[in-house]
Amino acid sequence: MSFIELFFRGGQVTGLGVLAIFAIIAIIFVVIKTLGATAGSEKKSAPKAAKPVAESKPEPEPAAAEETAAEEAAGDDLELIAILAAAVSAYSGEPVTKFRVVSFKHIK
């Protein structure tokens, strides 16, 4: 075999390899999209509780609105503390009960 024949044979093998890889990636993509669509349809098909339209809520007083906002912020902080504790636990390999998150600082 001459060099040119070997060169073209190598090109054919390379081309077939690239096509095979793209075909496998396309099959994986279709499978993931199909699984995502079926999982998404299960979430959407869950029955939702009907809210009565006739009921009207009274307007909250300004002081009550401030307390509600403070409670929501405290709930967000508690959730953030739980997330931080879980992250530190995962990083250090220690259980969450071995340490306590005392404070944290938001970075903007």
User: What digits encode the pLDDT tens for the residues 86-96?
Assistant: 888 888 888 88
Judge whether residue 33 has pLDDT over 80. Answer: yes
User: Model confidence over 56-85: pLDDT tens digits?
Assistant: 555 555 555 555 555 555 667 788 888 888
Selected residue with higher pLDDT from 107 and 45: 107
3: helix, coil or strand? helix
Polymer length in residues for the chain: 108
Separation of alpha carbons 99 and 32, rounded Å: 39
Cα 7 from Cα 18, distance rounded (Å): 16
Average pLDDT taken over every residue of the chain: 77
Identify the pLDDT of residue 107: 79
Give this prediction's pTM: 0.36
